[in-house]
Structure 1
């Protein structure tokens, strides 16, 4: 019995040492399964937007206000995050700048001097890639988004200062086309329709607003992760205001057309 007890540990060791090595390999099946590459990629960068705007608020018989050739300088922070597994993405940019110059009219009177005012906006889009062509050299994406825009007007007529606050909250529905030209050059075009927007001018609230917005960019890879780009942008928003004359109660429909367009310069880091 004593010999049997002494031989048990030796037998157990021999049994374990003779077990197939495949069981250890199953636990550590290699770096390909333990460490999967990240499916997230994105970018963060800065943009400068040199733009001009023009607008009018009127009907066929009366001009409430109008602006033309107003110059703006805006700095933007822009970022993008994309999941290559699900082909979904989220992107956004926020801009803040100043507007000055141009011609301003209020109630048919041309203002003597235009004051400097602030320009601010936020755009957030989310979407998915649904098609690719030419060995993934051209890609198509759809998106839905939100935009906030604030662009005020201030001018002087003699000793009188006239101001007008203008704000928009808009829904964006659109499509992005992007692609590569060779190894170091990329391009993208965004076109978004605005099916609905809430536009407020001072205390007036719009009954409905629609519009069209477009961006185009051409980017060059300076290094593996650093890009410089140049492009352009155009915004158009049309608003309708149903009002009534105080004395007669007659209905008056006023329309506002807002246009902004200009040159974009971009520097961004990709990861």
Structure 2
């Protein structure tokens, strides 16, 4: 006869030759950036493009909640993924050239929201009872929406913005990233109850769609942003501890980055004087941080 205490202290069964599923929830504490560089086309063939504006959203401190799961079968094939939603705050810097005058404006955040998911199918080509190593193919999505309030001019006194303390809504930025991903996934049991895992994914191609509203101008400007090509990376590590044979808690770190091709993407502007139907732009994003998780595994 075995006591409950002895059962609780038994070594967890890590990786079996049968079906298993593990799922749980995470809280991701993260910081991010988003930047886009706007460049006017060359005035004459053979001449260089003209840099016009750079918008930098930095200090995007947020917290998100997510659900995750992984399904393994006896043949080494696995399915895994996660989905999350969250909120963030940010500061916005808009540096532009108006004619011959340089402008640099600072703004703050009114509302920030983020959503994301990953979905992968893979195969463990190395595995036994204490470790497994596999490769996977999948897809990722990351969306970010925010509103901008207030405006402080810090470069040119002749290009005034809002008065100090004016918290008027002056703009908004929506971004959506989609990309295929290919990578490696590894897990190993350390000692009796500690497990170390890592995912490393390369994004060979990115697709970006966005919309940037400038509400401060007499005639509202709307930039319809489109970009592709480029690349990206997604890296994740996690250390977990099994409190029982099936239930574990853990802490991990994550880094995501995506970008489009340089000066080869199109931005259309409605409300510009005159309307711009073709301009060059480059877009990039980063998000990194620490997550905490709780999961349950059934073998």
| SS of alignment partner, residue 116 of structure 1 | strand
RMSD of the alignment, in Å? Answer: 2.5
SS of 2:118's partner is strand
User: Which residue matches 1:142?
Assistant: 135
Residue 196 of structure 2 corresponds to residue 187 of structure 1: yes
In structure 1, the partner of 2:230 is 209
| Distance in 2, Cα, partners of 1:218 & 1:38 | 23
Aligned pairs (5 A) from 1:102-121: 102-108=90-96, 109-121=104-116
Give the structure 2 partner of residue 76 of structure 1. Answer: 66
Q: Shift of the alpha carbon at 1:44?
A: 1.2
In structure 2, C-alpha distance between the alignment counterparts of 1:172 and 1:251, rounded to whole Å: 30
1:125/1:230 CA distance change after superposition, 3 Å: same
1:110 offset after TM fit, Å?
2.8
TM-fit CA distance, 1:244: 8.3
- Output the CA distance in 2 between the equivalents of 1:92 and 1:111: 38
- Kindly state the Cα deviation for residue 144 of structure 1 after the two structures are TM-superposed: 0.6
Q: 1:80 to 1:207 in 2, by over 3 A?
A: closer
| Match for residue 186 of structure 2 among 165, 177, 195 | 177
Separation of aligned partners in 2, 1:176 and 1:263: 19
Asked whether the 8 Å contact 2:84–2:117 carries over to 1, the reply is yes
Q: 2:201, 2:233 within 8 Å by CA — same for their partners in 1?
A: yes
More RCO (CA 8 Å, sep 6+) = 2
Tell me which residue corresponds to 2:242.
221
Structure 1 CA distance, aligned partners of 2:230 and 2:280?
A: 13
Query: What aligned pairs does 1:230-269 form with structure 2 within 5 A after superposition?
Result: 230-240=251-261, 241-243=265-267, 252-269=279-296
**C-alpha spacing 1:250/1:205, structure 2 compared with 1 (3 Å):** closer
Deviation at 1:177, TM superposition (A): 1.8
User: Contact 1:49/1:264 (CA < 8 Å) preserved in 2?
Assistant: yes
Which residue number corresponds to residue 52 of structure 2? 62
Structure index of larger Rg: 1
Distance in 1 between residues matched to 2:171 and 2:181, nearest whole Å: 32
Q: What's the offset of the Cα at 1:180?
A: 1.0
Aligned residues: 231
Change (3 A) 1:152 1:106: farther
Tell me the distance in 2 between the aligned counterparts of 1:124 and 1:56. Answer: 26
Change (3 A) 1:129 1:38: closer
CA contact (8 A) 2:124 2:133 kept: yes
Normalising by structure 2, we get a TM-score of: 0.71
Q: CA deviation at 1:197?
A: 2.0
Structure with the larger helix share? 1
Q: Which runs of 5+ in 1 are unaligned?
A: 1-36
